């Protein structure tokens, strides 16, 4: 697999030489590879399936499948920035907007980047499975999980992420 291409953009708010645009471009390129059949995908009706496709000192890339009603818990990405591209199907992202949760539907070929402090959950409420590619830079080392209580975001726990450990 080719290494991530660095942009000439200045380093932004995270300890990484990659910018959000780099991560979005990387997830788009790998999503095209998945569509072309270069990376096998498994859909597990019991739990989200994921496979680490790339990992080095600067970036981790994950392929994730989402059966109907599978979702991630409301979380952040610690000191990492990230991006995702939907390969097929659609996902709904619920993200903290500073005063309330906001929702957006991400359909096939849609990409989004997220900076430090982005708190969201992602899930597949649709009847058809969805597949997505995610990239984090630097690789995930910690994640915090949240609840929304009385219109306020409340951290419930934080967890360390071991190198190459699955994305929660």
pLDDT tens per residue across span 125-149: 999 999 999 999 999 999 999 999 9
Q: Side-chain half-sphere of 48: how many Cα atoms within 13 Å?
A: 21
- Residues 56 and 157: their CA atoms lie apart, in Å, by 27
Q: Where are the domains of the chain?
A: 20-160
Find out whether 39 is annotated in a ligand binding site: no
Tell me the mean pLDDT per 10 residues along the chain, length 168: 43 74 98 98 96 94 97 95 98 95 97 95 97 96 94 95 66
Tell me whether residue 75 is annotated as binding: yes
Token pair recorded at residue 80: 């990492």
Look up the CATH superfamily of 20-160: Jelly Rolls (2.60.120.10)
Report how far residue 157's alpha carbon sits from residue 92's, in angstroms, rounded to the nearest whole number. Answer: 23
Task: Please check if 77 is assigned to a binding site.
Answer: yes
């Amino acid at each position: 697999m080719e290494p991530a291409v660095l942009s000439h953009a200045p380093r932004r708010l995270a300890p990484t030489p990659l910018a959000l645009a780099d991560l979005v471009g990387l997830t788009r390129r790998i999503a095209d590879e998945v569509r072309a059949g270069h990376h096998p995908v498994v859909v597990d009706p019991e739990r989200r399936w994921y496979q680490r496709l790339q990992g080095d000192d600067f970036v981790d890339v994950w392929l994730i499948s989402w059966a109907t009603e599978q979702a991630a818990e409301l979380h952040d990405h610690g000191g990492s920035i990230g991006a995702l591209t939907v390969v097929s199907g659609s996902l709904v992202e619920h993200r903290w907007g500073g005063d309330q949760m906001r929702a957006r539907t991400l359909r096939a070929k849609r990409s989004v980047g997220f900076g430090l402090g982005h708190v969201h959950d992602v899930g597949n409420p649709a009847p058809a499975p969805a597949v997505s590619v995610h990239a984090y830079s630097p690789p995930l080392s910690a994640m915090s999980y949240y609840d929304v209580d009385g219109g306020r975001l409340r951290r419930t726990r934080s967890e360390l992420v071991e190198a190459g450990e699955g994305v929660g």
